[in-house]
Amino acid sequence: MKPLRTLVSIVLVCVLVLSFALPAAAFCGFYVSKADTKLYNKASQVIIAR
């Protein structure tokens, strides 16, 4: 009975932590250009690619 209680406690703590998590405000992006061109960013756009 003790291992079951421990497992239930761990799952409950994980659910509580994940339910109160704040949304992430991060952006993982990169620049694409030719090798001899300066990098610049005139506009930011969001795309979904597979």
pLDDT, greater one: 48 or 23: 23
Is 70 exceeded by the pLDDT of residue 39?
Answer: no
Per-residue confidence (pLDDT) for residue 28, from 0 to 100: 65
pTM over 0.75: no
For residues 20-42, give the mean pLDDT. 70
CA distance 24 to 2: 36
At 15, is the pLDDT very low, low, confident or very high (cuts 50, 70, 90)? very high
Q: How many helices (H) and strands (E) would you count in the chain? A: 1, 0
At 37, is the pLDDT very low, low, confident or very high (cuts 50, 70, 90)? confident
